[in-house]
Amino acid sequence: MGRGPSIAGRKGVEDAKRGAVFTKLIREITVAARTGGIEPQGNARLRIAIDKAHAVSMPKDTIDRALKRASGEGADATQEIRYEGYGPGGVAVMVDCMTDNPTRTIAEVRHAFVKNGGHIGTSNSVAFQFSEVGELIFELGGVVTEDKIMEVALEAGAEDIVTDEGYCDVVMPPTTFEAVKKALEAAGLKPLQAEVTMRPANRVAVLGEVAEQLQKMLDALENLDDAQDVYHNAAL
């Protein structure tokens, strides 16, 4: 009988995944601070990035080093670039990257698309199908009820609330994200996930081999070192 990975081996995989998450968050904190200021109170994007870092137990000194880089200590040439294209089944895909080498990044993104049956498009070839929204996701149970979430969220400026299979998804404009989040947390309702993201206007159904190929492409894109976020309009 074969043996599974050793404890050390499994820990190594988990450490690598954790390191990749930290790297993406450090880049986001640095760029958010560089473009909007290093004080979270006046920089909503930075507050969200730091909240995400806290959620994965990133050490305070790691966050502080990222902020120092943004203020000029060891600053780099990292820039934000969005790539757009289509995957198997005509699914619209956007990849937000942060890179100091756009030539390398576009080659890696294109390879991930083409290898898995997709192709890169021009700027705004698919972006028009998405809109930027704030999103809070709650797991229902105990004091966290749909009625309570709806009461607080709508009063604070949420636009839509959808409940499905024990989870509640609260959607709002980015401009009211902070107000809605604070109001819900003040009411004792802590979200599982809180972010400003890109949401498609419509979903495309994909099944069978097409869905499998699409998932391989999305996984390949998400695993790229320079990829921060991958958005798509598939109903997987």
pLDDT at 35: 87
- Report the candidate in 63, 67, 96, 137 with the shortest Cα–Cα distance to residue 232: 96
- Mention every residue, 6+ apart, whose C-beta is less than 8 A from residue 167: 137, 138, 139, 140, 192
Three-class SS of 224-236? CCCEEEEEECEEC
Confidence of residue 136 (pLDDT cuts 50, 70, 90): very high
pLDDT at 74: 53
What are the tens digits of pLDDT across the range 117-133?
Answer: 999 999 999 999 999 99
pTM for the model? 0.79
- Using CA atoms, how far apart are residues 157 and 135, in angstroms rounded to an integer? 12
Cα 169 to chain centroid distance, Å, stands at 15
Six token digits for residue 171: 């959607």
Structural domains in the chain plus CATH codes: 7-70 (1.10.10.200), 79-128+202-235 (3.30.70.980), 130-200 (3.30.70.980)
